Amino acid sequence: MSSSITIYSTSTRPREDDDDDDDEHEHHEHGHHHHHHGIENEEEGTALEYDINTFVYYRRKSFNKELFMKWVEESPKHKIIRAKGVCYFSDDEKNLYIYESAGRQRTLTCHGKWLSERISKQQIKNLLKTDKNYAHDWDDQYKEKLIKLVFIGQNLDEKAIRNELDQI
């Protein structure tokens, strides 16, 4: 059984309401924390029962697109149930891509230029002074560019996946 990857640009990606409101969810810092009893414990039990685990892969250096596409085609061997995140490629470093996989469906969507590619150096300086999240993600070499992919799977071999992605 083979899988394929669909590549979209922001202008060609179909608009669909998949109830995935992750991008609209706001995180607020509070002086306290929340406890969710019952449902969280049930989910944790189910995750343990089926050996479901998750991790975040993070790095600054861009991927080689050809090698990444090859890795995606071979990724079913890792029993990845779901993956989602941002990435960029050495042959197109000005653009941010969203990678998503669910089962055998995989999409790579060009989301447009990174903010640092669209605004002036002065605007970047102002943002770094006024936006703590932007400043937190800033790197003098890579700007705000990064690769951050979340993986959910069954019996994931995190070390093997990290090693493979580090070679891309």
What is the Cα–Cα distance from 127 to 135, expressed in whole angstroms?
7
Full domain range(s) for residue 57:
4-10+40-166
Residue 116 pLDDT exceeds 90: yes
CATH of the domain at 156: 3.30.1220.10
What is the Cα–Cα distance from 168 to 95, expressed in whole angstroms?
18
Give the model's pLDDT for residue 77: 84
Report the percentage of the chain scoring pLDDT > 90. Answer: 63
What is the Cα–Cα distance from 128 to 41, expressed in whole angstroms?
40
Answer yes or no: is 26 within a domain: no
| Stronger pLDDT, 102 or 50, i.e. the higher one | 102
Give the model's pLDDT for residue 28: 38
Q: How confident is the model at residue 76 (pLDDT cuts 50, 70, 90)?
A: confident
Quick: pLDDT tens for 8-46.
545 444 444 444 444 443 333 334 433 444 445 555 555
Contact (Cβ atoms closer than 8 angstroms) between residue 81 and residue 51:
no
Give the model's pLDDT for residue 2: 42
Answer yes or no: is 27 within a domain: no
Contact (Cβ atoms closer than 8 angstroms) between residue 60 and residue 139:
yes
C-beta pairs of 99-103 under 8 Å, 24+ apart in sequence: 99/72, 99/149, 101/72, 101/75
Answer yes or no: is 153 within a domain: yes
